[in-house]
A = this chain, B = another copy of it.
Amino acid sequence: MADIQSAPQLRDIQHAAARIARYAHVTPVLRSASLDALAGCELFFKCENLQRAGAFKFRGACNAVVSLSDAEAARGVLTQSSGNHGAAVALACRLRGIRARVVVPRSAPAVKLAAIREFGAEIIPSGVTQAERDAVMSEVLAQTEAAVIHPFNDARVIAGQGTATLELLRQAEAIDSVMAPVSGGGLLSGTAIAAHALNTAIEVFGAEPEQAGDAAESLRRGERVTGWVPNTICDGLRAELGPLTFDILRAHRANILLASEVEIIAAMRLLWERLKLVVEPSSAVPLAVVLRHRALFAGRRLGIILSGGNVDLEKLPWLPGV
């Protein structure tokens, strides 16, 4: 891959799949007769909540970390994240035996901080705004020359995320549509590239919380919207599209649909009850979208990427007082 700021191609995703095969899980695709009946279509759930470190993020982080030359790796890795990407980079670096530093805003949830620390990364606290986080990144970079791995606006990361869809389309036959949640757009970009390279007729959907709907708005306007203030239970879906992911999603005509917070929580509970899976709120947005737009999906064979399962088991959104 010559340029980490250019869209990856199918061969990049295939190389990523080979690169991460030693480390990543091939996650199962699960089905539920009762959810199919509720939705009026055939749903194939690609269980990235069962991926290492509990989210699809490990695919992209691992691909990027393994891609580093020995000289780059020796200088360590730097990233910024308040969530699953930070833990994924930390684990990938531990597996390669190199140093990881993660800039984490002081607002990050304790459970995600603990995971980053558990995998042996150094946590560098920062203020909460993007400007404050960028300033800390610059300071660290000035001292270390660490390799930066952006959470989504990075072709190595996008290629890694695309491996989930390569697997899905091998595991389930005759899929005609795929859907993933969208935040910074790395997962959905990889999904779109992989799906369309294998079958141009597959329709690609993004699922986004209404209250963090910048990606839907950006694609509607044809220009990248910034400065949204997200207000959603989906702690994994509060980022904005980057320039690279915006271009990819526009080129692939990704259709981004919205769901409300109430719909997301109801869908999350359905996934726990019917699929018997621990998924985080972000993972439930696609099912919420399908149940809101039943007519649009009637009779389809839809692959859904369940993005992650890192959730505080004492603070489930359907419990009283939470």
Q: How far is the CB of A147 from chain B (nearest CB, A)?
A: 24
A274-292 Cβ-contact flags toward B at 8 Å (1 or 0): 0111110000000000000
| Interface residue ranges of A290-322 to B (CB < 8 Å) | 309, 313-314, 316, 318-319
Interface residue tally for chain A (C-beta within 8 Å) = 23
A18-30 Cβ-contact flags toward B at 8 Å (1 or 0): 0000000100101
Contacts of A156 in B (CB 8 A): none
Q: A272-B313, A278-B272 are in contact. Are A50 and B33 (CB under 8 A)?
A: no
A46 on the interface (CB 8 Å rule)? no
Chain B CB within 10 A, most for which of A28, A276, A277: A276
Q: Per a CB cutoff under 8 Å, which of B54, B276, B279, B313 touches A318?
A: B313
Write the chain B residue with the least CB distance to A50. Answer: B276
Q: How far is the CB of A312 from chain B (nearest CB, A)?
A: 10
Q: How far is the CB of A182 from chain B (nearest CB, A)?
A: 22
- CA A275 to CA B278, docked complex, whole Å: 8
Contact of A30 with B50 in the complex, beta carbons under 8 Å: yes
A52 on the interface (CB 8 Å rule)? yes
Write the chain B residue with the least CB distance to A27. Answer: B28
Q: A276-B279, A277-B277 are in contact. Are A269 and B52 (CB under 8 A)?
A: no
Contact of B276 with A49 in the complex, beta carbons under 8 Å: yes
| Interface residue ranges of A34-55 to B (CB < 8 Å) | 49-50, 52, 54
Contact of B276 with A276 in the complex, beta carbons under 8 Å: no
Q: How far is the CB of A118 from chain B (nearest CB, A)?
A: 8
Contacts of A269 in B (CB 8 A): 313
Write the chain B residue with the least CB distance to A30. Answer: B50
Q: How far is the CB of A145 from chain B (nearest CB, A)?
A: 31
Contact of B314 with A319 in the complex, beta carbons under 8 Å: yes
Q: Per a CB cutoff under 8 Å, which of B54, B275, B279, B316 touches A50?
A: B275
Q: How far is the CB of A26 from chain B (nearest CB, A)?
A: 10
Contact of B54 with A33 in the complex, beta carbons under 8 Å: no
Closest 8 CB pairs between A and B? A276-B309, A28-B28, A276-B278, A49-B276, A272-B278, A50-B276, A272-B313, A54-B276
